[in-house]
């Protein structure tokens, strides 16, 4: 059974810092990995989708990398802003015949001015 772990569970940083959120998964036979943002009491907003054949994806100040063989992905946020404050979730799709994404518990990020 796929297990997804996100470290750290919580992070508080001053505005302007570059930061890295980590996601690890136990079974490397994945189809893709997706990073989401969740604001308190709200739904999930898709940030980046990395296919299993890709090593990274970029969108604006966000860069996500994938190392399938070691079961790890990182989300890099450049020049953090207070508006980045949210919970960041990673979801891994697979393994084997299962197409259902498995979620981590998330990293709760606070960026203070």
Partner 1 sequence: EPEVTQTPSHQVTQMGQEVILRCVPISNHLYFYWYRQILGQKVEFLVSFYNNEISEKSEIFDDQFSVERPDGSNFTLKIRSTKLEDSAMYFCASRYRETNTEAFFGQGTRLTVV
| Whether the Cβ atoms of residue 101 and residue 95 lie closer than 8 Å to each other | no
Q: What is the DSSP letter of 26?
A: S
Instruction: For partner 1, give the closer residue by CB, 57 or 80.
Output: 57
Q: x/- contact string, 26-45, with partner 1 (CB under 8 A)?
A: -----xx-x-x----xxxxx
Identify residues 6-25 at the interface with partner 1 (CB under 8 A).
Answer: none
Rounded-to-integer distance, Cα 26 and Cα 46, Å: 22
Q: Does 76 participate in binding partner 1 (rule CB under 8 A)?
A: no
Minimum Å distance from CB 62 to partner 1? Answer: 14
Nearest CA-CA partner of 6 in 111, 109, 112, 110? 109
Minimum CB–partner distance for residue 43 and partner 1 (Å): 4
Q: By CB neighbour count within 10 A (0-12 exposed, 13-18 middle, 19+ buried), where does 42 fall?
A: exposed
User: Which residues are near partner 1 by CB under 8 A?
Assistant: 31-32, 34, 36, 41-46, 49, 51, 89, 91, 93, 98-106
């Amino acid at each position: 059974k796929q297990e997804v772990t996100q470290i750290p569970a919580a992070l508080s940083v001053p505005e302007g810092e570059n930061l890295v959120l980590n996601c690890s998964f136990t079974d490397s036979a994945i189809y893709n990995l997706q990073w989401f943002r969740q604001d308190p009491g709200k739904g999930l907003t898709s940030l980046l989708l990395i296919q299993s054949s890709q090593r990274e994806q970029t969108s604006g100040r966000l860069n996500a990398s994938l190392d399938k063989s070691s079961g790890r992905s990182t989300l890099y946020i450049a020049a953090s802003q207070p508006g980045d404050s949210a919970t960041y979730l990673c979801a891994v799709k697979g393994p084997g015949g299962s197409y259902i994404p498995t979620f981590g518990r998330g990293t709760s990020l606070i960026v203070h001015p």
